[in-house]
């Protein structure tokens, strides 16, 4: 989809040739003397549009305007979350008429974050998955123009939003693909395709190289499947090689059956989404290619399937991780932490400024936080503050969870240095405590996106989260590096 940012003035607005013209109204609306203002005043007086965020009124061929239809939508006081709701309503109101082009205008310049949220939520509301359908209709909307009175002051925010959308949509595409269309090999091809973009490089390691590195935990998960594992290394070079990179690590389980500790059949199909952490890393690199910030970023993706066969790892097996620590695999369904721990050890070679891993790691995190906020854990206060702020500015929210050492008690075992599971209590936290053992000296954060990476039920599908959060976080870290 194409996005455009245009300067708003009344005559442009009245003469805008578009399938649907969306006008955002705030409680502070002051009418002018033009036809549109007169119409809005009438609507308000008649009580045809409640002044509540998300309320909309659809008007067909409004007199005096060149648009095919006008959608007036209230945004309350204009807060980011209200604009998000308003955009979703506007798109679903206009959708029935299959618009190809839409124009959305703010009568007053919105705050920068709100501009960004308007663009990202527009993309979200109009997204359609088509890859594995033969008669898919796809997205009717081909282009969207956003109008604001002072477009210059919002241009850079707008560009960040458009770049974020590209990243989010790449993450959704890979998240949504069925596991037989998104094998570790396919994910590696997607990463290689990114390396065609400016300043991006990609290396892919296979079973032999991974064995040589001694990634025994990662190998143990992959060994039950016929699909060969892939360890993907992406580099974005936007600054001098001497500048320490931020390393992103994405869990890339392309299908999680649970292994020998097999999952129940109901909803097992959703475990094709168990590579959404990896997909978010691909998405972030797509956005970096657009934004070209002057920083360095490394993306690591351990990708494999977690299946059952005569070669599968068994409960009670002890494996040696790349760090040298031995792990007793008490539950083969706690596989995410096993692939991540070796990737975290690998991350150390880059002497990173910060390491952030992203994983659909625990059902316990879904119980704790639901689908609104991703859980995050961190050993560093500054990084925590940056993540929390990035969540707010991108409206891709997260919430900090604890890392007290007492939570690690349950991981003790007589048969190895550590077990891969503790009891049921605090499951998201014990998983994070397991990962923390494999983190070097760098500031580290772990994002558990099990509740936020996809939606179940009628609206089943990948959300593209937390690409928005990560893009804002990286841009913030890039800024901080410069001011140091
Ligand atoms: N991929 C799952 C986590 C998950 C479960 C995400 C449900 C979204 C919805 C992960 O590999 C897993 O199976 N975790 C186990 C860990 C347990 C065995 C300690 C879980 O959460 O049940
Ligand atoms: Mn699992
Ligand atoms: Zn999993």
- Rounded to the nearest angstrom, the gap between the alpha carbon of residue 434 and the centroid of all alpha carbons in its chain is 24
Residue 273 carries which DSSP code? G
Q: Is the pLDDT confidence value at 25 over 80?
A: yes
Within the chain, which residue ranges are assigned CATH 3.40.630.10? 165-483
Q: Is the pLDDT confidence value at 154 over 90?
A: yes
CA angle 49, 54, 55 (to 5 degrees): 20
Q: Whose Cα sits closest to atom 8 in ligand 1? A: 450
Stated pTM of the model: 0.97
- Give the pLDDT confidence of 356-389 residue by residue, as tens digits: 999 999 999 999 999 999 999 999 999 999 999 9
Q: Whose Cα sits closest to atom 22 in ligand 1? A: 363
Question: Distance of CA 353 to CAs 214, 343, 359, 407, 478, Å?
Answer: 25, 16, 20, 27, 10
Strands, E, within 379-435: which ranges?
A: 398-400, 418-419
Q: Ligand 1, from 363, 365, 420, 423: best to mutate by most atoms within 8 Å of Cβ?
A: 363
- Which of the following is catalytic: 69, 160, 337, 465? 337
SS3 157: helix
Q: Is the pLDDT confidence value at 484 over 80?
A: no
pLDDT at 30: 85
- Give the pLDDT confidence of 300-345 residue by residue, as tens digits: 999 999 999 999 999 999 999 999 999 999 999 999 999 999 999 9
Of 309, 320, 321, 327, which Cα lies nearest the Cα of 260?
A: 309
The residue-averaged pLDDT of 190-209 equals 98
β-bridge pairing 398-400 and 317-320:
unpaired
The residue-averaged pLDDT of 91-100 equals 91
SS3 248: strand
Within the chain, which residue ranges are assigned CATH 3.40.220.10? 2-150
Q: What are the backbone angles phi and psi of residue 331, rounded to the nearest 5°?
A: -140, 115
Q: Whose Cα sits closest to atom 9 in ligand 1? A: 363
Q: Is 333 in the pocket of ligand 1 (CB under 6 A)?
A: yes
Q: Ligand 1, from 264, 268, 362, 446: best to mutate by most atoms within 8 Å of Cβ?
A: 362
Residue 10: pLDDT band with limits 50, 70, 90: confident
CATH architecture of 165-483: 3-Layer(aba) Sandwich (3.40)
Q: Which long-range contacts (CB under 8 A, 24 or more apart) does 312-319 make?
A: 312/223, 312/224, 312/259, 312/260, 313/220, 313/221, 313/223, 313/224, 313/259, 313/260, 314/260, 315/260, 315/261, 316/415, 317/220, 318/415, 318/416, 319/216, 319/217, 319/219, 319/220
pLDDT at 120: 96
pLDDT at 28: 84
Q: Is 252 in the pocket of ligand 1 (CB under 6 A)?
A: no
Please give the CATH topology (third level) of the domain spanning 2-150. Answer: 3.40.220
Q: Is the pLDDT confidence value at 138 over 90?
A: no
Q: Is 274 in the pocket of ligand 1 (CB under 6 A)?
A: yes
Q: Is 256 in the pocket of ligand 1 (CB under 6 A)?
A: yes
How does the average pLDDT of the chain come out, rounded?
A: 96
| 103, 22 Cβ separation under 8 angstroms | yes
Q: Say how far apart CA 185 and CA 362 lie, in whole Å.
A: 25
Ligand 1 centre to CA of 355 (Å) is 22
Q: Say how far apart CA 477 and CA 296 lie, in whole Å.
A: 11
Residue 27: pLDDT band with limits 50, 70, 90: confident
| 253, 229 Cβ separation under 8 angstroms | no
Angle between helices 381-394 and 467-483 (to 10 degrees): 130
| 272, 179 Cβ separation under 8 angstroms | yes
Q: Name 173's Cβ contacts closer than 8 Å, sequence gap at least 6.
A: 129, 131, 279
């Amino acid at each position: 989809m194409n996005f455009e940012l245009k300067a708003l003035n009344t005559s442009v607005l009245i003469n805008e040739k578009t399938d649907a013209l969306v006008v955002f109204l705030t409680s502070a609306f002051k009418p002018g003397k033009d036809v549109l203002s007169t119409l809005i005043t009438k609507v308000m007086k008649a009580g045809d549009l409640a002044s509540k965020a998300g309320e909309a009124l659809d008007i067909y061929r409004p007199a005096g305007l060149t648009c095919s239809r006008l959608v007036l939508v209230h945004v309350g006081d204009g807060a980011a979350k209200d604009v998000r709701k308003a955009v979703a309503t506007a798109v679903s109101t206009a959708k029935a008429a299959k618009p190809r082009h839409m124009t959305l205008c703010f009568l007053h310049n919105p705050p920068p974050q709100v501009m960004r949220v308007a663009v990202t939520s527009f993309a979200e509301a109009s997204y359609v998955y088509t890859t594995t359908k033969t008669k898919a209709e796809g997205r009717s909307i081909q282009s969207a123009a956003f109008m604001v009175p002072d477009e210059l002051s919002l241009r850079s925010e707008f560009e960040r939003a458009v770049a974020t959308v590209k990243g989010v949509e790449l993450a959704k595409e890979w998240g949504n693909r069925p596991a037989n269309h998104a094998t570790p090999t396919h994910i590696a091809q997607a990463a290689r395709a990114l390396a065609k973009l400016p300043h991006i490089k990609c290396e892919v390691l296979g079973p032999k190289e991974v064995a040589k590195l001694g990634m025994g935990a990662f190998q143990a998960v992959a060994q039950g499947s016929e699909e060969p594992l892939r360890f993907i290394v992406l580099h974005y070079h936007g600054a001098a090689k001497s500048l320490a990179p931020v390393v992103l690590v994405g869990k890339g389980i392309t299908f999680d059956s649970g292994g020998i500790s097999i999952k129940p059949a109901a909803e097992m199909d959703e475990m094709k989404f168990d590579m959404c952490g990896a997909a978010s890393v691909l998405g972030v690199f797509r956005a970096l290619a657009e934004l070209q910030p002057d920083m360095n970023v490394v993306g690591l993706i351990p990708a494999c399937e977690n299946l059952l066969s005569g070669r599968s790892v068994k409960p009670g097996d002890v494996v040696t991780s790349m760090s040298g620590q031995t792990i007793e695999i008490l539950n083969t369904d706690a596989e995410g932490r096993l692939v991540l721990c070796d990737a975290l050890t690998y991350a150390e070679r880059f002497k990173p400024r910060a390491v952030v891993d992203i994983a659909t790691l625990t059902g316990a995190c879904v119980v704790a936080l639901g689908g609104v906020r991703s859980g995050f854990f961190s050993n560093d206060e500054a990084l925590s503050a940056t993540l929390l702020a990035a969540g707010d500015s991108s409206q891709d929210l997260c919430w900090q969870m604890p890392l007290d050492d007492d939570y690690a008690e349950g991981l003790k075992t007589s048969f190895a240095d550590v077990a891969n599971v503790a009891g049921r209590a605090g499951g998201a936290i014990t998983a994070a405590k397991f990962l923390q053992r494999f983190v070097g000296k760098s500031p580290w954060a772990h994002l558990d996106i099990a509740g936020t990476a996809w939606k179940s039920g009628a609206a089943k599908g990948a959300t593209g989260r937390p690409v928005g959060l990560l893009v804002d976080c990286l841009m913030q870290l890039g800024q901080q590096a410069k001011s140091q």
